[in-house]
């Protein structure tokens, strides 16, 4: 059964350990010491094989950086994509494999992404009119998170190749972060033009691939598996209060600006007045929820990431770093810089 933990238990998010298993397979395939990584990050084989096992986003990124260091391959995310199987996306992957078209496969993967991944930065999306699958922005980019974008876009591509038996399936790949000098490697892997420094992370399919029937298409099985996925998704959301749902949608909106209650209510499909009333019935309000969300995220960013204080201020939606410093001192009685020095001093 899917983990039904409330969404505020890990403010930066977590993902299925199945993704960590793919990363370790890629490490081994590239000649790296996967066993040493498992020991270093306290991962064991039964834990990695458990469908319900999770790993925090920051820990996964540190694992990825360690894997890149031990293999010497900065494009390890592409290797991860090549080794990704439908089952590595859990039941959503199996449901996608049995869909009637590639378009439906991607729609299935993206609709049920929450079953295996919950990230404070956002959710993947599908732009059907442009035949695109989009991965949300995880800026600011650094050496710790490039591989995440690579691995997701490559995994989607690999899944489609697996389902169609074709390699010529893409028209274009767009990647938000700037080129790292491996453009030819990426274009050779994706077999299409790759644009770095783009406005989004996405793959755009050829129309023939978008409409192709997967080799494992089975309408009855797809219906059964998506029904199971839907039950799991509803089970996750069943334990969420209105404040939980609001916090989940609020966090990606914080980057560089403070979201308004009007924007949040629109995302929730309600009115500002109704949202405020619902939050009040749960003993909170919009301003309090915003403040508490920022407070928890700030602590986790400082503890678990190497993001600079100015990057954290932007990620929390403050107008400038001094505003973040002032808020943090109000929350914890010290500055964020002092807290980070304290953490480093104890490690």
176-191 burial string, b = 16+ CB within 10 Å, else e? bbeebebeeebeebbe
Q: For residue 201, list its beta bridge partners.
A: 135
Structural tokens at position 302: 């400082």
Residue written as token pair 């449901």: 95
Rounded alpha-carbon distances, angstroms, from residue 195 to 6, 42, 107? 38, 37, 24
How far apart (Å, rounded) are the C-alpha atoms in residues 121 and 141? 12
- The pLDDT value recorded for residue 7 is 44
How far apart (Å, rounded) are the C-alpha atoms in residues 150 and 79? 9
- The pLDDT value recorded for residue 347 is 61
Which residues, 6+ apart, have CB-to-CB distance to 227 below 8 Å?
none
Q: Any alpha helices (H) in the chain, and if so which ranges? A: 17-29, 34-40, 45-49, 57-71, 76-82, 91-97, 102-111, 146-164, 183-190, 207-210, 219-238, 242-250, 261-268, 272-281, 286-304, 309-315, 321-332, 336-346
- The pLDDT value recorded for residue 2 is 42
The model's pLDDT over 329-347, given as tens digits with 9 standing for 90+, comes to: 999 999 999 999 888 777 6
Which residues, 6+ apart, have CB-to-CB distance to 111 below 8 Å?
92, 229, 233
Structural tokens at position 76: 């390890």
Q: What are the DSSP calls for 226-249, one per residue?
A: HHHHHHHHHHHHHT--HHHHHHHH
Strands 194-196 and 13-16, sheet pairing: unpaired
Strands 194-196 and 125-127, sheet pairing: unpaired
- The pLDDT value recorded for residue 210 is 97
Residue written as token pair 């403050």: 318
Query: For residue 156, which of 169, 143, 144, 145 has the smallest C-alpha distance?
Result: 169
Q: For helices 336-346 and 286-304, what crossing angle results, to 10°?
A: 40
| 3-state secondary structure (DSSP) of residue 171 | strand
How far apart (Å, rounded) are the C-alpha atoms in residues 142 and 205? 28
Q: Are 226 and 100 within 8 A, CB to CB?
A: no
- The pLDDT value recorded for residue 6 is 43
| 3-state secondary structure (DSSP) of residue 48 | helix
Residue ranges of domains in the chain, CATH in brackets: 74-230 (no CATH), 240-346 (1.10.10.60)
Contacts 24+ apart (CB under 8 A), 192-195: none
Structural tokens at position 283: 């003993």
Q: For residue 203, list its beta bridge partners.
A: 133, 173
Q: Which residues of the chain have pLDDT under 50?
A: 1-8
Q: Are 102 and 214 within 8 A, CB to CB?
A: yes
Strand ranges of the sheet holding 117-119, from the earlier edge strand across to the other edge:
54-56, 13-16, 117-119
- The pLDDT value recorded for residue 8 is 42
CA 217 from chain centre, in angstroms, equals 27
In degrees and rounded to multiples of 5, residue 334 shows phi and psi of -135, 170
- How many residues in total does the chain contain? 347
- The pLDDT value recorded for residue 10 is 60
| 3-state secondary structure (DSSP) of residue 130 | helix
């Amino acid at each position: 059964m899917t983990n039904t933990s409330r969404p505020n238990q890990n403010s930066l998010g977590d993902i299925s350990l199945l993704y960590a298993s793919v990363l370790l397979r890629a490490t081994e395939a590239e000649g790296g010491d996967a066993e040493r990584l498992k020991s270093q990050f306290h991962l064991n084989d039964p834990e990695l094989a458990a469908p319900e096992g999770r790993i925090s986003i920051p820990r996964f990124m540190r694992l990825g950086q360690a894997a890149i260091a031990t293999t010497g391959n900065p494009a390890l995310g592409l290797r991860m994509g090549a080794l990704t199987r439908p089952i590595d996306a859990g039941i959503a992957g199996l449901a996608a494999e049995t869909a009637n078209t590639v378009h439906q496969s991607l729609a299935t993967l993206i609709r049920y992404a929450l079953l295996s991944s919950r990230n404070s930065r956002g959710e993947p999306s599908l732009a059907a009119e442009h035949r695109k699958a989009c991965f949300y922005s995880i800026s600011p980019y650094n050496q710790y998170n490039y591989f995440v974008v690579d691995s997701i876009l490559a995994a989607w591509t690999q899944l489609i190749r697996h389902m169609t038996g074709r390699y010529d399936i893409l028209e274009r790949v767009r990647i938000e972060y700037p080129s790292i000098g491996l453009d030819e490697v990426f274009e050779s892997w994706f077999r299409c033009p790759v644009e770095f420094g783009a406005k989004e992370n996405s793959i755009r399919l050829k129309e023939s691939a978008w409409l192709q029937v997967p080799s494992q298409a089975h309408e009855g099985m797809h219906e059964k598996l998506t029904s199971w996925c839907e039950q799991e998704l509803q089970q996750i959301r069943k334990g969420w209060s209105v404040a939980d749902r609001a916090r989940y949608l609020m966090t990606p909106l914080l980057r560089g600006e403070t979201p308004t209650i009007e924007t949040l209510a629109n995302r929730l499909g309600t009115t500002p007045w109704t949202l405020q009333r619902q939050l009040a019935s749960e003993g909170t309000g919009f301003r309090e929820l915003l403040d508490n969300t920022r407070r928890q995220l700030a602590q986790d960013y400082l503890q678990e990431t190497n993001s600079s204080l100015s990057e954290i201020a932007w990620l929390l939606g403050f107008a400038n770093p001094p505003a973040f410093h002032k808020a943090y001192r109000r929350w914890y009685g010290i500055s964020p810089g002092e807290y980070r020095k304290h953490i480093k001093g104890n490690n």
